[in-house]
């Protein structure tokens, strides 16, 4: 599949190593991604990498952390520069299926990026959902994403709780693991749906805390990350047990993910 050229129409530096790119198609666009899906992003002349979609506007937003040659090249792309996209690929959060229910979003670090489209979807259709709770954890205040948006989410009816692992005297918020925020969830546990994204160990313990709070394990979804290269379940690099995550994930029910996540940690 040939990558489709997209022009960088907006560029925002989120943290020291993370940039959000607003992308507009040069010609015919790719299909509109659903919340939770990803694309293969190309830095022409360098390579490609799977990146979750962090927003769907008239164009597409993607939040990229520079951790390798391709992602650093993407982060360095200036306004007007051209990158390539293939996709969208993978499964979605299924936020539409949670209409009429309380919803909980729990994000660790850059895991807020894949969750952001689902949060925005729920807030844009506010009357179709019950209570909306967003739990956010980061290593430090400097690592938090979308800080300028959080008060707007609150004004639209979401309860947003933020914690950091470590902070200095300038931080007046909560310090500690995101699991400690589970008791702040405003939801009727028996009827709530939860969506969790972040480092794998964070997802396991956060999902366990939400289940202990009363949310059914079958109503918790997580997003798994593996070495996705082709995006169409051909190469097998993203195999995890019986799943090819570029096709069967990245979003999977927590119940299905538990045994697979445990095997990987042995």
Separation between Cα atoms, residue 81 and residue 76, nearest integer Å: 10
Residue 242 CB coordination number (10 Å): 8
**Which pLDDT does position 115 carry in this prediction?**
98
**Chain centre distance of CA 245:** 15
User: CA 230, CA 223: separation in Å to the nearest integer?
Assistant: 18
Distance in angstroms (rounded) separating the CA atoms of residues 74 and 153: 28
| Cβ contacts of 6-10, under 8 Å, gap ≥ 24 | 6/59, 6/60, 6/82, 6/83, 6/84, 6/85, 7/80, 7/81, 7/82, 8/77, 8/78, 8/79, 8/80, 8/81, 8/82, 8/83, 9/59, 9/79, 10/61, 10/79
Residue with tokens 């539409």: 96
Q: Can you state the percent helix, strand and coil of the chain, rounding each to 5?
A: 30, 35, 35
∠ CA(210), CA(216), CA(218), 5° rounding? Answer: 115
pLDDT at position 182: 87
- In the predicted model, residues of the chain with pLDDT beneath 50 are 263-266
Per residue in 115-145, pLDDT (tens digit) is 999 999 999 999 999 999 999 999 999 999 9
Task: Give the pLDDT of residue 247.
Answer: 84
Cα–Cα nearest to 104, from 68, 85, 130:
130
pLDDT at 262: 55
* Three-class DSSP category at 243: strand
């Amino acid at each position: 599949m040939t990558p489709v050229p997209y022009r960088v129409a907006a560029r925002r530096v989120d943290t020291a190593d993370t940039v959000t790119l607003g992308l507009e198609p040069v010609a015919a666009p790719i299909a509109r991604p659903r919340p939770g899906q990803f694309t293969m992003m190309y830095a022409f002349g360098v390579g490609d990498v799977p990146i979750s979609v962090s927003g769907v506007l008239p164009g597409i937003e993607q939040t990229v952390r520079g951790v390798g040659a391709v992602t650093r090249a993407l982060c360095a792309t200036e306004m007007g520069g051209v990158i390539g996209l293939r996709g969208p690929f993978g499964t979605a959060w299924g936020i539409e299926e949670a209409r009429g229910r309380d919803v909980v979003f729990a994000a660790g670090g850059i895991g807020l990026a894949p969750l952001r489209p689902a949060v925005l979807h729920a807030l844009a259709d506010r009357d179709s959902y019950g209570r909306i709770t967003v739990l956010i954890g980061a290593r430090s205040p400097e690592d938090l994403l979308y800080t300028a948006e959080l008060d707007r989410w609150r004004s639209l009816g979401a309860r947003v709780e933020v914690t950091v692992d470590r902070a200095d005297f300038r931080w007046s918020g909560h310090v500690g693991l995101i699991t400690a925020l589970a008791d702040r969830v405003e939801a009727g546990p028996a009827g709530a749906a939860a969506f969790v994204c972040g480092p794998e160990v964070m997802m396991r313990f956060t999902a366990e805390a939400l289940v202990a709070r009363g949310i059914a394990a079958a109503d918790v979804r997580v997003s798994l990350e593996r070495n996705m290269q082709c995006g169409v379940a051909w190469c097998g690099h993203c195999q995890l047990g019986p799943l090819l995550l570029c096709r069967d994930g990245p979003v999977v029910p927590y119940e299905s993910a538990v045994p697979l996540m445990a095997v990987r940690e042995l």
